[in-house]
Amino acid sequence: MELSGAEILVQSLKDEGVEYIFGYPGGSVLHIYDALFKQEDVKHVLVRHEQGATHSADGYARATGKPGVVLVTSGPGATNAVTGIATAYMDSIPMVVVSGQTPTPMIGSDAFQEVDTVGITRPCVKHNFLVKDVRDIAETIKKAFHIASTGRPGPVLVDIPKDVTDPAVLVSYEYPKKVSMRSYNPSVKGHKGQIKKALELMLRAHRPILYTGGGVVLGEASDELVALTKKLGFPITNTLMGLGSYPATERQFIGMLGMHGTYEANKAMHECDTLIAIGARFDDRVTGKLSEFCPNATIIHVDIDPASISKNVKVDVPIVGEVKGVLKEMLKLLNSGEFSPKPELISKWWERIEKWRSYNCLDYDRESKLIKPQYVVEQLYEVTNGEAFVTSDVGQHQMYAAQYYKFNKPRRWINSGGLGTMGFGLPAAIGVKLAHPESEVACVTGEGSIQMCIQELSTALQYKTPIKIINLNNGYLGMVRQWQEFTYESRYSHSYMDTIPEFMKLAESYGHVGMRIDKKEDVRGALEEAFAQKDRTVFLDFITDPTENVYPMIEAGKGHHEMRLAPGMITDEDLA
Amino acid sequence: MRHILSILMENEAGALSRVAGLFSARGYNIESLTVAPTEDPSMSRMTLVTRGSDEVVEQITKQLNKLVDVIKLIDLAESAHIEREIMLVKVHAQGGYREEVKRLTEIFRGSIIDVTASSFIIEVTGAQDKLDAFLKALEEQSVFEVVRSGATGISRGEKGLHL
Ligand SMILES: Cc1ncc(C[n+]2csc(CCOP(=O)(O)OP(=O)(O)O)c2C)c(N)n1
Ligand SMILES: [Mg+2]
């Protein structure tokens, strides 16, 4: 088959099984757009800003496990995509980004819309390519998908100069069946000896805790994690990225850990004698002050990326390998009868944890006349039966969503954890809805964040992706305000916007349904009404208590045992 | 601790900047770096000298291994190896000092490769400390240009870095 470079690109995507491509046209990708026009298998979603394209592709990837695909033009198209690429990179999300480039003979001449895309994106991609020959397109695309989706996943960018997609130049096409790269062989099986050693340590523990992260979600190892945790009987905490990989409503789950983790999770981390970290990377938002981190624990760490092991915290038993395989092996050993958990060893530990849990650290002022953001999330959880896909932006609302929506399945909680990108939520929700048209998709956001990619409301209408936007409108860049209250003596430097749009009208002008809710008693009804409108995107603007803060909180530079609790909360010291 | 990382990588455009970028982005230092194609022109071999605690160098090694262009690497300093660097030194040499410079060059098994009425260019090869010692032996004011290649190295015996 003889095809042009543009046709080869599109055909390669087809052969790769790509369903959606999120993009925005421009000069250097016009040949590709023409090839897209002539087919119907790969559906193109025209976003309103290239950042939106990357976040939508990212949302699609997080919700499905399949790589998200993006197409942007050179220069500003590529630079607009960088934030979304970096967002995917930080959370190890598989993504393939195709960018147009200035024609090869003009590269380096400061040509119109030329930027060094490969250079700009190098630090925030897993890998990138510049394709200089039309005969290399198919193989490069194959490699890009391979690299993006294997090992520790991540975004891969393929930069293609315009002349390489020239419709007048035809070459023979065959999509490679497989790739082999001598410099890239990621799939690793955990070392059996190490696994056994880890299990022995675990079963001897008196105060064990499982600390699991996004790697379990990415590695499709949730079922194994649930089985193992139940078998062991240990308490389990999830990172922000790992929520849903262990059902939040189950007894052994003691909540999220870290900066805004629960009292019981952080206390248990601080006092544990055996820490079993699985697919988690000891991020600073999780560990708090490193010198105070799990001071008495033997640490076991399972991760596919050897560079994550002993990076921030020295690990005693490292296991490099795919989480799923390692957990399976542990289960096999446990089921063989050779190893068996001894519940009596940890019964005291559970008593202690239950005591911490009984303080109910996530309680808040339910009597307040104002709408509390926590209340809105609780109601959202009930109205959606805990079954919705929830995307989020960055700020207090994100933490409330993580704390009060109890995720019972992986891939349901979709947020920018590593980069913390405001603007992520709405476009991500569009990608999620395209992937799961039958499921409810909610975007929990704030009046600050939503304005960073608000233009995607227009995309949501064009592609009929009915999502529900839960705007927790506190009038402030709330998370910034909270830090200023705690550490800058309430000097609220530029964390308040004097003017914000009337979101209800804005939503309507984009062709959606807008609602403004400023009374607590209307919250439930509004949510029910919104979710009843199956085929409409509804923007719910909840006017929430502007002074509410996220608790518990480990302030920067503090340890897990130094949590700041909601005013009026009982603490250990009170009880002593 | 000084470490000499010997890196086998794809001979591709951008491979060098990936390595250099990794060092600057993560705040590791590069003391010297040399790179050239190997006997197999599809691969290059880089020798990179860095300093850091064992933990830091372990991280560096892991991060380098993660780069898709990197095929294999070893830390030469971990076992018996040979290290070489080439240095070209231009010195002012007049009168009695000319003899002195010739003598020093001989002692260090260097060679004078260019001569004018008032200057020499001397070529010296060896490990870093030998080159340092040679420079120290010369009169400080006489040295007016120094070019060093940075270290390259190879491990001794059967052990090695190849596919
Ligand atoms: C693109 C970007 N810019 C700045 C920040 C820093 N930041 C983190 S949270 C936050 C406030 C977010 O405000 P809002 O969306 O209203 O959420 P709230 O905290 O009020 O719930 C800011 C500015 C960020 N995370 N991302
Ligand atoms: Mg706000």
pLDDT digits (tens, 9 = 90+) for A74-103: 999 999 999 999 999 999 999 999 999 999
φ and ψ of B44, to 5 deg = -115, 160
Count contacts between A and B (CB, < 8 Å).
Answer: 36
Q: Once rounded to an integer, what is the mean pLDDT over residues B9-18?
A: 94
Amino acid, res. B41: P
CB contact under 8 A, B70 and A183: yes
Nearest chain A residue to B12 by CA: give it.
A129
Give the pLDDT confidence of A8-25 residue by residue, as tens digits.
999 999 999 999 999 999
Please give the share of chain A, as a percent, with pLDDT higher than 90: 97
CB contact under 8 A, B17 and A183: no
Q: Once rounded to an integer, what is the mean pLDDT over residues A133-146?
A: 98
CA distance B74 to chain A (A): 15
> Are residues A143 and A182 in contact, defined by beta-carbon separation less than 8 angstroms?
no
A444 in contact with ligand 1, CB cutoff 6 A: no
pLDDT of amino acid A573: 60
Distance A153 CA to ligand 1 centre (A): 27
pLDDT of amino acid A571: 65
Question: Which of the ligands is closest to the CA of residue A373?
Answer: 1
pLDDT at A555 over 60: yes
CB contact under 8 A, A123 and B13: no
pLDDT of amino acid A556: 87
DSSP state of A439: S
How far apart CA A89 and CA A130 sit, in angstroms, is 19
pLDDT at A572 over 80: no
CB contact under 8 A, A183 and B71: yes
Both tokens of A305, joined, read: 């990326």
**Residues of B within an 8 Å Cβ radius of A:** 9-10, 13-14, 17-18, 21, 25, 55, 58-59, 62-63, 65-66, 68-71, 163
CB contact under 8 A, B65 and A184: no
Active site residues per annotation of A:
50, 112-113, 162, 479
Q: Please list every residue in chain B whose beta carbon sits closer than 8 Å to the beta carbon of residue A127.
A: 68
CA distance A446 to chain B (A): 32
Q: What is the mean pLDDT of chain A?
A: 96
> Are residues B142 and B92 in contact, defined by beta-carbon separation less than 8 angstroms?
yes
Nearest chain B residue to A122 by CA: give it.
B18
pLDDT of amino acid B162: 86
Both tokens of B45, joined, read: 């071999």
pLDDT of amino acid B13: 87
How far apart CA A10 and CA A279 sit, in angstroms, is 35
Please choose from A449, A473, A553 the residue to mutate so as to test ligand 1's pocket, defined by most ligand atoms within 8 A of CB: A449
Both tokens of B157, joined, read: 């015996």
A495 in contact with ligand 1, CB cutoff 6 A: no
Q: pLDDT class for A2, splitting at 50, 70, 90?
A: very high
Nearest to B68 among A127, A130, A310 (CB): A127
Sign of the alpha-carbon torsion through A223, A227, A229, A230: positive
pLDDT of amino acid B158: 87
Q: Once rounded to an integer, what is the mean pLDDT over residues B117-122?
A: 97
Q: Which atom of ligand 1 sits closest to the CA of residue A474?
A: 20
pLDDT of amino acid A473: 98
ipTM: 0.93
CA distance B85 to chain A (A): 28
Query: Mutate which of B66, B73, B163 to disrupt the A interface (most A C-beta within 10 Å)?
Result: B66
A392 in contact with ligand 1, CB cutoff 6 A: no
> Are residues B122 and B111 in contact, defined by beta-carbon separation less than 8 angstroms?
yes
How far apart CA A384 and CA A69 sit, in angstroms, is 29
DSSP-based three-state secondary structure for A476: strand
Both tokens of A418, joined, read: 């590593």
φ and ψ of B114, to 5 deg = -155, 140
φ and ψ of A172, to 5 deg = -75, 145
A420 in contact with ligand 1, CB cutoff 6 A: yes
DSSP state of A322: -
Which residue's CA is minimally distant from atom 13 of ligand 1? A477
- For the entire predicted model, the pTM comes to 0.96
Neighbours of A46 (CB within 10 A): 14
Which residue's CA is minimally distant from atom 23 of ligand 1? A477
pLDDT of amino acid A24: 98
Q: Once rounded to an integer, what is the mean pLDDT over residues A352-367?
A: 95
